[in-house]
């Protein structure tokens, strides 16, 4: 493989990794605060893509309006799912809330099939982003560069929020211990809702960029990315935001590079994430940046 081709693949990998990172953040934040795998997260990502699609296609909004509206709607959707499917089960055995999460995921998917139609649609093209540029010997869409930049910016913004604001501190407190946080005057419910809102908004942004990069959209499009992004969060250390981003990049770059270097393995592309997951769970279950949580007997 020529160096230029390698660079091309690498850029694609980084771009894909950034998208994974944005979605993975949502998983890791929710897990940190509720010890719950939000199975519905991938489908929320899918909904965001459809919201922005309909904004442009059906309501004729200009893309920047549609995108913002979609992000806000998705944000609310995420918070709604939390209130309806997770909050009532907070005191129940873990199994029930996991089942609820799976149910919510399938409900969203199937609602999407019914409401949006099962056949794939074409995401609107935005010339500003999708214009092809050439840097040196590498030609790529402007989007491919914007994605990592946007992701990292959002990451730093989020880290600032978590570490330097009162709400952020509330999130950290709740992720350590609900009861103690409540006793310290933290509105636990509001904090949890906020966490879901932020995670969903980030997934929405990721979704919109995904739609622009991979314009064919369908109701099942959130399943694989959803699974992979959770795996990314686990690899990075579940509960750790920086870890989630790291995991996202590892997964994105790894996936692209492996297929690039071993084209015969293209069919196994999705398996890469799962194999990596199992390796991590066996050798370092707490992930790259994770901490060990021991149970008191």
Residues that bind other proteins (CB under 8 A): 31, 35-37, 85, 88-89, 92, 94-96, 98-100, 102-104, 106-107, 109-111, 113-114, 118, 223, 227, 230-231, 234, 267-268, 270-271, 274-275, 277-278, 281-282, 285, 294, 297
Report phi then psi at 287, rounded to 5.
85, 175
Spatial neighbors of 43 by CB under 8 A, at least 6 apart, are 104, 105, 108, 109, 112, 222, 223, 226
Compare residues 166 and 296 and give the one whose CB is closer to other proteins: 296
Strand, coil or helix: 223: helix
Compare residues 92 and 216 and give the one whose CB is closer to other proteins: 92
Compare residues 39 and 129 and give the one whose CB is closer to other proteins: 39
Shortest gap between Cβ of 50 and other proteins (angstroms)? Answer: 14
Report phi then psi at 88, rounded to 5.
-60, -20
Shortest gap between Cβ of 180 and other proteins (angstroms)? Answer: 16
Compare residues 149 and 275 and give the one whose CB is closer to other proteins: 275
How far apart are alpha carbons 196 and 202 in whole angstroms?
A: 10
Shortest gap between Cβ of 183 and other proteins (angstroms)? Answer: 19
In this structure, the number of other CB atoms found within 10 A of the CB of residue 199 comes to 28
Shortest gap between Cβ of 273 and other proteins (angstroms)? Answer: 8
Shortest gap between Cβ of 6 and other proteins (angstroms)? Answer: 25
Strand partners, 133: 140
Q: What would the two tokens of residue 16 be?
A: 């894909």
Shortest gap between Cβ of 179 and other proteins (angstroms)? Answer: 16
Shortest gap between Cβ of 181 and other proteins (angstroms)? Answer: 21
In this structure, the number of other CB atoms found within 10 A of the CB of residue 260 comes to 17
* Owner of token pair 């609310």: 76
Cβ burial, residue 67 (10 Å; 0-12/13-18/19+): buried
Shortest gap between Cβ of 113 and other proteins (angstroms)? Answer: 3
How far apart are alpha carbons 140 and 46 in whole angstroms?
A: 25
Is residue 53 within 8 Å of 251, Cβ to Cβ? no
How far apart are alpha carbons 125 and 82 in whole angstroms?
A: 32
Cβ burial, residue 275 (10 Å; 0-12/13-18/19+): exposed
């Amino acid at each position: 493989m020529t160096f230029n081709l390698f660079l091309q693949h690498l850029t694609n990998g980084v771009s894909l990794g950034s998208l994974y990172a944005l979605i993975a953040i949502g998983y890791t934040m929710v897990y940190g605060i509720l010890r719950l795998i939000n199975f519905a997260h991938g489908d929320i990502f899918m909904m965001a893509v459809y919201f922005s699609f309909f904004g442009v296609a059906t309501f004729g909004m200009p893309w920047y309006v549609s995108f913002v509206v979609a992000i806000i709607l998705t944000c609310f959707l995420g918070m709604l799912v939390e209130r309806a499917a997770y909050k009532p089960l907070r005191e129940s055995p873990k199994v029930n809330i996991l089942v609820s999460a799976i149910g919510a995921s399938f409900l969203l998917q199937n609602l999407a099939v019914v409401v949006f139609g099962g056949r794939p649609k074409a995401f609107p093209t935005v010339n500003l982003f999708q214009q092809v540029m050439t840097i040196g010997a590498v030609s790529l869409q402007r989007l491919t560069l914007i994605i990592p930049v946007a992701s990292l910016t959002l990451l730093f913004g989020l880290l600032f929020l978590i570490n330097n604001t009162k709400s952020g501190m509330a999130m950290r407190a709740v992720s350590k211990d609900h009861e103690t946080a409540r006793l310290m005057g933290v509105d636990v419910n509001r904090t949890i809702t906020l966490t879901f809102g932020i995670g969903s908004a980030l997934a929405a942004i990721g979704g919109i960029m995904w739609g622009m990069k991979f314009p064919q959209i369908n109701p099942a499009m959130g399943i694989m990315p959803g699974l992979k992004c959770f795996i990314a969060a686990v690899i990075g250390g579940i509960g750790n935001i920086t870890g989630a981003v790291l995991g996202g990049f590892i997964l994105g770059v790894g996936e692209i590079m492996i297929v690039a270097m071993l084209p015969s393995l293209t069919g196994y592309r999705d398996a890469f994430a799962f194999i990596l997951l199992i390796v991590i769970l066996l050798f370092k279950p707490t992930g790259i940046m994770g901490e060990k949580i021991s149970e008191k007997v």
